[in-house]
Each structure stands twice: as C-alpha cells, then as structure tokens.
Structure 1
C-alpha cells in the first residue's frame, strides 16, 4: 500500500560541536528533505539537555518555514503540560498565518526534560488548580477553533491572529487512551513507536484511533539507512533506552544510566527500578528498510511514517535521509 514519509529531528549536538552548529544542521536537513519530497519535517522539544539543542520547537519551526517553501513544518511536539493552551494556540495560529497550509501542531504529554527543568517551566503554575492533560488539550483545541464554551472561565478570550487555515493538529502518544483522546477532538494521532514499540500496544492503540476517528493514524519510529546492513548496524551501535520506574508508578525513558540516576536525584527519589531495553531501530540497506516499512504499513494500515534517525552525526543522518528517499525513487522508477 502507498504511504508518505516524514521526518522528526531532535537537533542533536555531537561531541565537539556547538548548539548553533546543531541547529544549522537541522535547517540544512529540512531543506534537503524538501528537495527529496518528504511530506513534513517536525522538530522536537527537550529541556536542560546539552546534547539536544531544540528547546523551543515553535521558534525553530518558524526559522525552518522561512528557509523552505513547500514542505510542511511543525512540532513533534509541544510539551503541553508546561504551557498556557491560549499561548500555544496564538503561536501556531501566527505560524499558520505566516506560512498558510504548511504548519503542523503536534503536542505531547511527556515533560521533555529532567525534574528541575520541569519545575522551572511550571514555576508560575497554580499548584492548587492544575488541570490534567485531557482538560488542557481540550482547552487548546477550543482556542484554536474559537469554540470555547460560554460557561468556561476564560470564555471571550480569542487567540489571534486568524490564519487562512488552521495548523494540522496531531496528538503524539503511545497508548489507547491517547488515541481515543485524539479521536474525540478530531485530531490526527501519531503513535510514538520509537518509545513504545510493543506490537500488541501498537495494534490496540491504532485500532482504537481508526475505529473512533474513521481514518488512519501515523507511526513514528527509529530508522537508519546505510549502503550496507553492516554499516547501518555499526552506525546505530549500542543504542539503549533506560526506563526509570519511580515509586509513584510513573515511568520515564532516559538515554543512559547516568541520566536516569540524575532524574531520580532531581525528583528526590532514592529508590527506583531501572529497565534497560534496546529500542527497535529499522536499520539496514535501502531494500531492507523499504521491506520493513512495507510490512509495517501492511500489518497496521499505516499511511504515513514519521522517521527519527537515532544518531548524532550529521553526515550519517543526511546519508540516511537521502538513501531512504532513494529507496522509494528506485521503486517508482
């Protein structure tokens, strides 16, 4: 079945490089993705991490929109728990007015950083009246569509400007509950397969969304293409994810044991459980990765993949993006 390809970039800062260089490379990658025919280019939100330069996706997206002309650009995603839904609606309506028909608003539930960053982001929140994510999400949707209920405490506030068309809206999640929430508000749903690759959970979540929304979700995943299988596996290397289990029942995915221990320290937790996993990365030659994507599209009914290349080196990321596009060009030819 045919499907679209899109990219997610985290603006990694390789050892010896600067954040400015990392951001310049993200822009260059977006420009090359546009030339290669990718559907959309998303930038992520991470806080307090010197290895990732993208802390404000709305700012970076604006910069990329100004330096491209056709590709859709957006957030993958805004970590909504930190922000006023009204302000997020204003930001993305403004982007949609600047670049009509090219803006995506993706939102996520995760904190996107360690506890100290989260506390700093939420320092002015009213701790006695903090809404849950579903309530904040519903409020964002209402501000985008100028549809806040008359009984709402903020009724009458209108997020400006009014763009020619609203951003395309995506909820990024990894559970049936997130899929149901997206469908309930008429949003697109992107399953975060790069963080939760359990096939049974993917199947349940996508089924919930498809049955409730009547349309296909998209699937985000890790993939890397190299000239040979051996080269791809060598580039990916010993990629690991460390799932931190806190006594509260909360879980967080961290890139290393050290990052997990620092997260627990900042959270004031001395006892925790750490689960080391190897995330599923589709890594290999053009034909191998194409076969794997074809199989996933067939199995889950996917019409769009959002590909995250989980390496820091720009040359490897660029080569992977070019080779992946080339796999489809070769088939078309």
Structure 2
C-alpha cells in the first residue's frame, strides 16, 4: 500500500504560526525520506489554528525543499478562483517541478460564511458551477479550449507545460462518478464522513475515461490517524483530536489542547457517544493495529493508497506516527 500525507498545518494551542510552518517543512522532509508517495496541503480560511490558507504557496516551497515526493493541494477550493488563474499557477508549478505536482480540487468553501464573503468581495458565490470551473481549468491546462468558447483566444501560460495530476476531492461519494468521467483521480475524505463504501469507489472506476491527466483510475482515501508504539500511548495523544472534533460538532472554534487538558475535560454521556461515533473517521492504536485496519480496507475496498492526516498537540508524536506507519507499510 502507498502512504501519503494530508497536512492541514494544525497550530496547537500555545504554538505560533511560524512554529507551525517550520514543523510543516520538517515533516515534509521526513516523509520524503521515508518513501511516502505524496503530501497535500489543505485550504482553510479564517481559522487561527490552521495555518494553510494558500496551498499553492506551500506547494512551491515544499517542492523546493524535498527531493522526490509528489506535492499538491488537498485541496484548492475552486469556487473562489478563476479557472485561468488556477491553470496558470499549477502549470507554473508543474514546469518548475515536472512529474511532482498534484492539483487537488475541493468544492467546499474551506471557511465560514464571513471568510467566503470576503473572498468574493462581498458578493455571494455561485457554488453550482464547480464542475464547469474544473473542466475549464483542465482545458486551459491542456490548451484545448473549444473554438466556440468565450475563452478560446486566451492561453494559460506557461504554454506547453507538463501537466500536473488532477484530483477531485469528495466526502459524500456524490462526486465519484464525475471524477471518473473527467478522467482524473478521486480522493475520498473518510476523515470527514466515515462512510467509505465499495459502491462509491466502483462508481468512479466504472465511469473512468482515460484523459491527458490520467491513463488509469487512481483512488486515495484520507484518514485521521494516530499511531504510536503502544495503543495506550496512541490513545493519550488522540485525546486532543477527539476533543477538537467534539468542539467542531458543537460549532465551537477549532483548537488543539494538550492531551492532559483533553483527558481532564468534563464530558457528558452524549459527548462520549459522539467521540465514539467520530472514531469511524479516526484510526487510533499501535502502528501494527492501524496498519492492520488499513490492510483490511485495502482488501475490502480495493484501495491502494492511504492519505494520512495526523493532528496532535505534540509535533514529536505526530512525526513518530508517520515514521511508525512507514515502518509497517512501506
């Protein structure tokens, strides 16, 4: 199984954004050396505890400081941007780092309504044209805009650039078939919904049509995960994300407290039930236990790449989790 990384650049309570981004660079170098397949950066707006609002800038820097790992967006929230600009950005990145750039696209806003309004300069965005914008972006990238299209006389520079891989991100399965028809990769966010199913992935494979971006279907599945030497140690560090997810379920701000603070939090019985339910999205245990679950999913769903997002208060525990999983699976 291939292993990859989703880095949401979490900023634990008490840590500065500068420290977070330095840790981001350190982690990228570690997983590059370990043999991870790709690393993606998310796009979040308006959050003091998530430092990546501009994945395209993160990609440029990380690709320059690593050797072989693919680097991409997980994802660009295309509703905020023009297809021409995104095509130019990722053609430039792919020219600078040929064969290493991924253009992962999400259809969500990546922030609250206030951030979305600001990104659109006070106008309400049209969220119904996400697939049209993605198709236009890909036509700009391949320089195949139809002659009767309003943009037919516009080229996205640099001309003749090597193409990035293009991926569509989804969390409900509704976009799986569309990703197949576009001939691009499909990334399912198990860490959001916890509802991975064979029928969803089969819909992608059944509808897949080869394109200039991909000859064969590619799927990866994103998981929250915390692995450690022992199950007890993993549970200790996982307490921070358990509480964070509970806060988000209650509409509270994203924040990453220490494991001690999380373990001493006053949970109601309903809170405990919600945390248990959220564990469908979150793999926690010794590295052998987590690896066993991933191998089970590989066999059951036919997936060959797991994209791991590890959020903890301790940077050292986070790095160790990726190291231990690499030892078990790579």
Q: Which residue of 1 aligns with 2:185?
A: 188
- Which residues of 2 match residues 29-178 of structure 1 at below 5 A? 29-123=27-121, 132-162=129-159, 164-178=161-175
User: CA separation in 2, counterparts of 1:37 and 1:191?
Assistant: 22
The C-alpha deviation readout for 1:41-84, integer Å capped at 9, x for no partner, is 11111101000110000001101011112111111110111111
Structure of greater relative contact order (alpha carbons < 8 Å, 6+ residues apart)? 2
Structure 2: segments with no counterpart, 5+ residues: 209-215, 255-272
Q: How far has the Cα of 1:222 moved from its partner? A: 1.1
Q: TM-score, normalised by structure 1?
A: 0.85
Cα gap change, 1:206/1:239 in structure 2, threshold over 3 Å: closer, same or farther?
farther
User: CA separation in 2, counterparts of 1:283 and 1:97?
Assistant: 39
User: CA separation in 1, counterparts of 2:246 and 2:134?
Assistant: 28
Q: Which residue of 1 aligns with 2:2?
A: 4
Of the three residues 232, 235, 248, the one matched with 1:233 is 235
Structure 2 counterpart SS, 1:278? helix
Q: Once superposed, what is the RMSD of the aligned Cα atoms?
A: 2.2
Cα gap change, 1:327/1:76 in structure 2, threshold over 3 Å: closer, same or farther?
same
Structure 2 counterpart SS, 1:189? strand
Q: How far has the Cα of 1:312 moved from its partner? A: 3.7
Q: How far has the Cα of 1:164 moved from its partner? A: 4.7
Q: TM-score, normalised by structure 2?
A: 0.85
Q: How far has the Cα of 1:12 moved from its partner? A: 1.1
Say which structure is richer in helix.
Answer: 2
Cα gap change, 1:130/1:328 in structure 2, threshold over 3 Å: closer, same or farther?
closer
Q: How far has the Cα of 1:257 moved from its partner? A: 3.0
Structure 2 counterpart SS, 1:195? helix
- Tell me which stretches of 4 or more aligned residues in structure 1 moved more than 6 Å: none
CA contact (8 A) 2:40 2:73 kept: yes
Structure 2 counterpart SS, 1:5? strand
User: CA separation in 2, counterparts of 1:51 and 1:116?
Assistant: 17
CA contact (8 A) 2:141 2:163 kept: yes
In the alignment of these two chains, the number of paired residues is 301
Q: How far has the Cα of 1:6 moved from its partner? A: 0.4
- Which residues of 2 match residues 246-285 of structure 1 at below 5 A? 254=248, 256-259=250-253, 277-279=277-279, 280-285=281-286
The C-alpha deviation readout for 1:24-51, integer Å capped at 9, x for no partner, is 1111100000110000111111101000
Cα gap change, 1:198/1:176 in structure 2, threshold over 3 Å: closer, same or farther?
closer
Q: How far has the Cα of 1:310 moved from its partner? A: 2.8
Q: How far has the Cα of 1:223 moved from its partner? A: 1.3
User: CA separation in 2, counterparts of 1:198 and 1:284?
Assistant: 20
Structure 1: segments with no counterpart, 5+ residues: 244-253, 261-274
Q: How far has the Cα of 1:126 moved from its partner? A: 8.2
User: CA separation in 1, counterparts of 2:76 and 2:294?
Assistant: 27
